[in-house]
Structure 1
Amino acid sequence: MLLEKIKTPGLSHLSYLVGSGGQAAVIDPRRDCDIYIEKARAEGLAITHIFETHRNEDLVSGAAVLADMTGAKVLHGPNADGEVVYAQTTCEGDSYRVGQLEFRVLETPGHTFDHLAYALFDTEYPEKAVAVFTGDVLFVGDVGRTDFYPDRKREVAGLLYDSLRKICDLGDQAIIYPAHGAGSVCGSGMADREFSSVGHERHNNPRLQIEDREAFIDFKVGENHYQPPYFRLMERLNLEGGSPAPRVIEPKPMSLQELGECGADHLVDIREPLAYASGHLPGSINLPVGMIPAFAGWFIGEGESVALIASSQGQLNTAMEHLVRIALDNVLGGYVGVVPAAAAGKKMRSIPMVDTETVERRLTGEHNEWTLLDVRDADERAAAAIDGSEHIYVGELPKRWQDLDPARSYTLMCASGMRATVAAGWLDAHGFDNVDVYLGSMGAWKAAQN
């Protein structure tokens, strides 16, 4: 028997290859899905089943493509807010054999209406579930978000409560295999571990400690979540099936001249924030390669073209992988060599860094035409904020930047300065000349108060 987890870095997406008796199933495959075929073949397994826990919002499913490549059937739950054209509908009570293993379907709505969990049984020992693939209903240390149906928010929170109890009823011995790990936009309280059991979660997961159904609903309704625009694109593609990932996931090399003449909708500098702030090409925004999965969908729209600027080919390749997995892959090419460009006389822009003393002095009124702009999320700001600061979440800047005055001075802050540099880069690329970043941001502020 084989049970292998395939992790997608950046998105913290977890998919699974499960095999027995020459057959294999894949749970929640990603768009670049060759990896499942390669691993199955290496173990002498044929992929016969593809199970989707729900219509994902944060990445493009590879189920349709993998089905075309293997002939496997795709199983998806009912009530998907549209027809999942590449899948067969499966419902509670259905079961599927894969060699000695049996997958039993549980309807677990709440995160989405179509959500399913798949309880895994060993037919040689059939009394208790060995494991359960929980999708986005139950994570290690957290449970699924319930904000996708704002007009029915109490209803869906209640459905999630009921679904969690159904999973707990499988027994403490069942190992849980969620669809995401820590760092995913699908939950904020996940543990760094990617292994657990129903029993461990039942005793330790803070959300499962809320035993009263109404109290659980109140808690979920009170949560703050952000939905980047690309979620709508993912939802649509995950009904239609999407297109295969490019066979070669690396951007075309560009010269400096080609970069300047390419006409991309966005010049995206994927270097680290301090490197970008020290010197960057005019008009470029900063999305450090490790932040692309979480933030590219806020700044890049469907179909918009992108040219990447990096410090190495490896950075370009990793960035391209991230963009392909969220279908923002209209990448015209990539350029490496900001420092040589500067040495050749290319005009550069920079964004200054300021310290706590400077921020404190400005807050006392020395700098009247100035705003300290906090770009953290609402929960972070509710926990601790600097008096006198204003708030716009970094992901909302592409819509709200026009509410700001380009003649005014702005200091951007977040928790450390990373997101603040992304925000400052967006403003810098859109005509704001008086922008700087509070280096260390809230971390530095708290340290100075101690």
Structure 2
Amino acid sequence: MLLKKIKSEGLAHLSYIIGSKGSAVVIDPRRDCEIYLNIAKENKLTITHILETHRNEDYVTGSMELHSLTNARILHGTFDFRYGEIIVDGQEIDIGSITIRAISTPGHTLESMCYAVIDREMGSEVVAVFTGDTLFVGGVGRTDLYGNNKLDEMSAMQYDSLFNNLMPLGDGVIILPAHGAGSACGSNIADREDSTIGIERRQNLFLQVSGKDEFITLKRDEVLEKPHYFEKMEDINLNGQPILGHLPITPPIPVHDVQSHRHHLTIVDIRSPSSYAAAHVTGSLSIPLEILSHYGGWIIPYDCPILLVVDSPDQLDSAVRALIRTGYDDIYGYMDGGIEEWFKATLPSSSFPIISASSLDIENKDLFFLDIRMDKEWKSFRTEMAHHIFVGHIVNRINEIPVDLNIVILCSTGTRGSLAASILEKYGRKPINLLGGMTAWSNAGFPTISNNL
């Protein structure tokens, strides 16, 4: 039996390929799916089935893309999908010496499915289970996707799915979740990605409850952001994902062409925060490459071609993959020669200050401190000197931020602060990005408060 996990950084998405005796199944494929074909080829396998655990809301599923390349059958739970086939609870698929059994596990979504794995060469017991967004290492899937008025109902379903359908599989069963730490699809997800039902039974906070009511209370108390791009992903993954055929080609665009078209483009600068602060195309967005997957969907519009500003063309492959995974297919190209060529052409540029905590005068009345971290981060550790607006909400709450003061941005380390600064600058504010963020703030001895959550 072959079992391989494929991790897509940024979104913390985990997909899998499992195969035996010439055949293979892919579970929750990503859109740039050549990796599955390469693994199958290396191991002399033919991909015959594609299994979806649910209609994903945080990335564009690669099922249609992989189907176009393999003609593999796409199977998913019962919902109003416009593609694929329905698989029902208890239905089995034989792949070589492996049997995969579908388990209905509603809660995260109504159609959520898990898939138990039986290695018939070793016996009839379940040895592993693909748990999708139902069960993570350290956490469980969010249950608020249908709105707060449905949260209790969905949480009750998830409790039943966990305790009636997954826990009885046995403590030795390996769990294979669809996400790791950093995903927006659940809370309390551990950094490690390997576990068993038995370990989760003993260590997972959501499995320590005395009953369904306590579980529902825990779910009510979760603090999770719901990016607005989730609705876009849900629609794409319901109706069938557009087939790319290959990664979008990103040609070099001369700077004068960028200038001519820039009001019809979304210019995304993926360079480091310090490079962006020093000089950037006026009106561009700073989304450093390491956060592009996670935060691009919060900020980048879907109705406008994207122009990338990079340090090196070597960054393009990672950037394009990050963008297409969240449905950004219209990539105009990248700025040829980067910011240096833009300068040489004397085209409009901007900059803003960055500051270290050691240079910061927190008593300066001309400063307005803005904490742009997520609610959970802010509640657990913060300074009362700062106004809190999550970076993804700045545009909708821009009127809370003064025009006449210098805005000192606090995040964890300064990376998301660069994104916030670029948004503030577009709206006529005067940003200053604090290098090191709240970590540096605390290390400088500035006042903080902490909560034990």
Query: How would you bin the TM-score normalised by the shorter chain?
Result: over 0.9
Query: Would you say the 8 A contact 2:140–2:187 is kept in 1?
Result: no
Aligned equivalents of 1:284, 1:32: Cα separation in 2: 27
CA distance in 1, matches of 2:115, 2:69: 23
Deviates more, 1:336-345 or 1:147-156: 336-345
Give matches, 1:325-364, under 5 Å.
325-335=325-335, 336-343=337-344, 345-356=346-357, 360-362=361-363
Q: How far has the Cα of 1:219 moved from its partner?
A: 0.9
Shift of 1:226: 1.1
For 2:224, what is the secondary structure of its paired residue? coil
Identify the residue that residue 377 of structure 1 maps to in structure 2. Answer: 374
- Structure 1 distance, partners of 2:7, 2:72, is 22
Match of 1:272 in 2: 272
Structure 1 residue 255, shift from structure 2 partner: 1.6
| 2:119 corresponds to 1:118 | no
Contact 1:77 1:89 (C-alpha < 8 Å) held by counterparts: yes
Alignment of 1:8-23 (within 5 A): 8-23=8-23
**1:448 matched residue in structure 2:** 444
Match 1:395 to one of 377, 392, 396: 392
The question of whether the paired residues in 2 share the 8 Å contact of 1:51 and 1:75 is answered with: yes
How far is the alpha carbon of 1:403 from its aligned partner?
4.6
**Matched residue, 1:176:** 175
Residue in structure 1 matched with residue 231 of structure 2 by the alignment? 232
Cα distance in 2 for partners of 1:418, 1:159 equals 38
User: 1:298 and 2:298 equivalent?
Assistant: yes
**Which stretches in structure 2 are left out of the alignment for 5+ residues?**
447-453
- Alpha-carbon displacement from aligned partner over 1:279-330 (angstroms, at most 9, x marks no partner): 1121111000110111101111223221110101022221111001111121
1:192-231 equivalences under 5 Å are 192-231=191-230
Mapped to 1, the partners of 2:27 and 2:374 lie a distance apart of 32
1:100 aligns with 2:94: no
CA displacement, residues 379-398 of structure 1 (integer Å, 9 cap, x when unaligned): 11112221232111001123
1:258 corresponds in structure 2 to 257
How far did 1:220 drift?
A: 0.9
Q: Which runs of 5+ in 1 are unaligned?
A: none
Which SS does the other structure have where 1:367 is aligned? coil
Secondary structure of the structure 1 residue equivalent to 2:433: strand
* Length, aligned pairs only: 442
The aligned residue for residue 449 of structure 2 is none
Corresponding residue for 2:450? none
Give the TM-score, by structure 2 length: 0.92
CA distance in 2, matches of 1:384, 1:46: 50
- Secondary structure of the equivalent of 2:340? helix
- Deviation of residue 261 (structure 1)? 1.8
SS for the counterpart of 2:218 is helix
* Aligned positions of 1:113-152 closer than 5 A: 113-149=110-146, 150-152=148-150
CA-CA distance at 1:9 after TM superposition = 2.1
> Equivalent residue for 1:412?
409
Is this contact kept in 1: 2:143–2:151, CA < 8 A? yes
Does the CA contact (< 8 Å) of 1:303 and 1:328 recur in 2? no
Cα distance, 1:445–1:287 mapped onto 2, change above 3 Å: same
Q: Identity across aligned pairs (percent)?
A: 38
Secondary structure, counterpart of 1:231 in structure 2: helix
- The 1-side partners of 2:396 and 2:266 are apart by 16
Contact 1:250 1:316 (C-alpha < 8 Å) held by counterparts: no
2: CA distance between counterparts of 1:416 and 1:248? Answer: 32
Letter in 2 for 1:112: T
Question: In 2 relative to 1, CA 347–391 (structure 1 residues): closer, same or farther, beyond 3 Å?
Answer: same
Cα shift at 1:14: 1.1
Contact 1:128 1:171 in 2 (8 A): no
Kept after mapping to 2: 8 A contact 1:101/1:122:
yes
Q: Which moved more, 1:229-238 or 1:411-420?
A: 411-420
Secondary structure of the corresponding residue to residue 424 of structure 1 = helix
- Corresponding residue of 1:156: 154
Is 1:242 the equivalent of 2:241?
yes
SS of residue in 1 equivalent to 2:126: coil
After TM superposition, the structure 1 stretch with the greater mean CA deviation from structure 2, 227-236 or 241-250, is 241-250
Q: What is the TM-score when the length of structure 1 is the normalising length? A: 0.93
**1:355 positional shift:** 3.9
Q: Distance in 2 between matches of 1:185 and 1:203?
A: 24
Cα deviation 1:36-95 (Å, max 9, x = unaligned):
2232133222221111000001111111232233222111112x3xx2121211111111
SS state at 1:259 partner: helix
User: Which shows bigger deviation, 124-133 or 266-275?
Assistant: 124-133
Matched residues in 2 for 1:208 and 1:334: separation? 48
Change (3 A) 1:70 1:356: closer
> Aligned AA for 1:224?
V
How much is the aligned-residue C-alpha RMSD, in angstroms? Answer: 1.9
- Matched AA of 2:310: A
Higher mean Cα deviation, 22-31 or 182-191? Answer: 182-191
